[in-house]
């Protein structure tokens, strides 16, 4: 009996080529596209959360299905549109707004992948008879001698997306497939051209995919239901040097928008949520040599003693050497071999050994609140 693999279809080239490859390999392929409730077709009111009504959901689902039907014509697979707007709000939007409201800088993809794509969508795929869920991520899976599924960087060092998958659980990885793991992006484009494949969506997927038609500041103000609260700006010596227009407009390491004169450009060093104040300093003040990481999802068995690792503190950051000291089963203290700039509470810290991804957690400080992930 031919095995069924579901594929999360965005309409872009990566998921389209992934579905094509699975079909060529002889699998029965089921296309799944999920609605977040924040597509441009949805219209939200002024409330922090104004859920789309059933008629609106049905209309958007129908128009999305018609749009994706061109994929069915190209590779002959059935496609279903799944409404996950409530799950997306509760897991991703609520986390995103809570983080900003508490002075943290969130990373929505690190929450969406385990909670939505390999959470609710995987559950649906399994209930529909699929054995696995595939996505167009550039990452690789390998089976260890123990039988455990391990996650590795994608073969394309520029496009590698393993960082965003670091919070998938071992069980979720057992049901994951990444057909583009050995591909470079140029290979994907060339194969699509050779096979005559035309994506429905030509743009690259964005980290904040759910904000359209608004700046993220406007989106946050709408979701929080309150106007931004201005407050004081202090330098690292405690001098009051200006006013900010709302802490949610800033993240660690940011230079733009501070608008305070000084002998050199100022950068955001700290976001003091409790006192609603912004702490700024010079470029040299951004560098620190350690941080804590909480709520770690381990893909390997958790280390029991201090170990040397490579750590990535944001997506566009090359892994750097560090020493990890376990504090508990899901918390660790990280000491960098060389001080790093703009280590940002709320962002994901992802651990590697060579090409292998070991686990991922949230950057925190002992006096900072931890991100809430639903």
pLDDT digits (tens, 9 = 90+) for 167-179: 999 999 999 999 9
Give the model's pLDDT for residue 371.
43
Q: Mean pLDDT across the stretch 202-211?
A: 71
As a whole-number percent, the residues of the chain with pLDDT over 70 amount to 94
Answer yes or no: is pLDDT of 43 > 50: yes
Instruction: Please determine, for residue 367, whether its predicted confidence score (pLDDT) is greater than 50.
Output: no
Q: How far is CA 263 from CA 210, 270, 284, in A?
A: 39, 20, 13
User: Which pLDDT score is estimated for 150?
Assistant: 98
Sheet strands (E) in 2-62: 4-8, 28-35
The arithmetic mean of pLDDT across residues 46-51, rounded, is 58
291 counts as catalytic: no
Which whole number is the average pLDDT over 303-307? 96
Evaluate if residue 308 carries a pLDDT over 80. yes
Is 231 in a helix, a strand, or coil? strand
Residue with more model confidence, 360 or 372:
360
Q: What is the mean pLDDT of the chain?
A: 91
Write the DSSP string, 241-257. Answer: EEEES-GGG--TT--TT
What the chain holds in terms of domains, given with CATH numbers, is 4-195 (3.40.50.620), 230-281 (2.30.30.280), 286-364 (2.40.30.10)
- Give the pLDDT of residue 163: 97
- If you average pLDDT over residues 61-82, what whole number do you get? 93
pLDDT value of residue 298: 97
Marked catalytic residue, from 109, 209, 260, 291: 209
Report the DSSP beta bridge partners of residue 133: 6, 176
The secondary element (H helix, E strand) that includes residue 185 is helix 185-195
- Counting other chains too, the contacts that 245-252 makes at CB distance below 8 Å and 24 or more residues apart are 246/217, 247/103, 247/271, 247/273, 247/276, 247/278, 248/100, 248/101, 248/217, 248/220, 248/221, 248/224, 249/217, 250/278, 251/105, 251/344, 252/105, 252/286, 252/342, 252/343, 252/344, 252/345
Which one of 40-49, 166-175, 268-277 scores highest in mean pLDDT? 166-175
> In which band, very low, low, confident or very high, does the pLDDT at 53 lie, cut at 50, 70 and 90?
confident
- DSSP state for residue 163 in the 8-state scheme: G
State yes or no: pLDDT of 27 exceeds 50. Answer: yes
Confidence of residue 223 (pLDDT cuts 50, 70, 90): confident
Selecting among 109, 112, 260, 291, the annotated active-site residue is: 112
Confidence band (pLDDT; 50, 70, 90) for 368? very low
pLDDT beyond 70 at 260: yes
Active site residue 209: yes
- pLDDT confidence of residue 284: 95
d(CA 173, CA 357): 12
Q: What pLDDT is recorded for position 372?
A: 44
How far is it, in rounded angstroms, from Cα 110 to Cα 116?
Answer: 10
Arithmetic mean of pLDDT, 141-159: 96
Q: What is the mean pLDDT of residues 324-342?
A: 96
């Amino acid at each position: 009996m031919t095995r069924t693999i579901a594929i999360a279809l965005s309409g872009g080239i990566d998921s389209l080529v992934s579905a094509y490859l699975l079909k060529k390999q002889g699998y029965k392929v089921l296309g799944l596209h999920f609605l977040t409730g924040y597509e441009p077709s949805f219209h939200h009111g002024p409330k922090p959360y104004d859920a789309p009504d059933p008629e609106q959901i049905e209309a958007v689902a129908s128009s999305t299905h018609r749009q994706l039907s061109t994929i069915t014509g190209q590779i002959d697979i059935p496609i279903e549109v799944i409404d996950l707007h409530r799950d997306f709000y509760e897991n991703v939007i609520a986390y995103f707004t809570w983080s900003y409201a508490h002075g943290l800088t969130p990373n929505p993809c690190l929450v969406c992948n385990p909670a939505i794509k390999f959470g609710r969508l995987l559950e649906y795929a399994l209930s529909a008879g699929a054995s696995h869920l595939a996505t167009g991520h550039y990452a690789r899976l390998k089976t260890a001698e123990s039988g455990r599924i391990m996650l590795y960087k994608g073969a394309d060092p520029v496009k590698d997306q393993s960082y965003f998958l670091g919070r998938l659980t071992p069980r979720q990885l057992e049901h994951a497939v990444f057909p583009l793991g050995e591909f470079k992006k140029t290979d994907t484009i060339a194969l699509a051209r050779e096979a005559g494949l035309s994506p429905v969506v030509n743009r690259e997927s964005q980290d904040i995919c759910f904000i359209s038609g608004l700046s993220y500041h406007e989106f946050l103000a709408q979701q929080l239901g309150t106007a931004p609260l201005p407050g004081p700006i202090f330098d690292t010596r405690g001098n009051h040097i200006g006013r900010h227009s709302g802490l949610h407009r800033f993240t660690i390491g940011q230079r733009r928008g501070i608008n305070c004169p000084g002998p050199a450009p100022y950068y955001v060093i700290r976001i003091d949520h409790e006192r609603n104040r912004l702490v700024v300093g010079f470029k040299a003040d951004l560098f620190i040599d350690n941080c804590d990481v909480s709520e770690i999802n381990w893909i390997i068995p958790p280390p029991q003693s201090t170990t040397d690792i490579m750590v990535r503190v944001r997506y566009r950051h090359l892994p750097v050497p560090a020493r990890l000291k376990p504090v508990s089963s899901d918390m660790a203290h990280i000491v960098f071999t060389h001080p790093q700039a703009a280590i940002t509470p709320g962002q994901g810290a992802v651990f590697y050994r060579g090409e292998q991804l070991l686990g991922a957690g949230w950057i925190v400080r002992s006096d900072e609140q931890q991100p809430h992930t639903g």
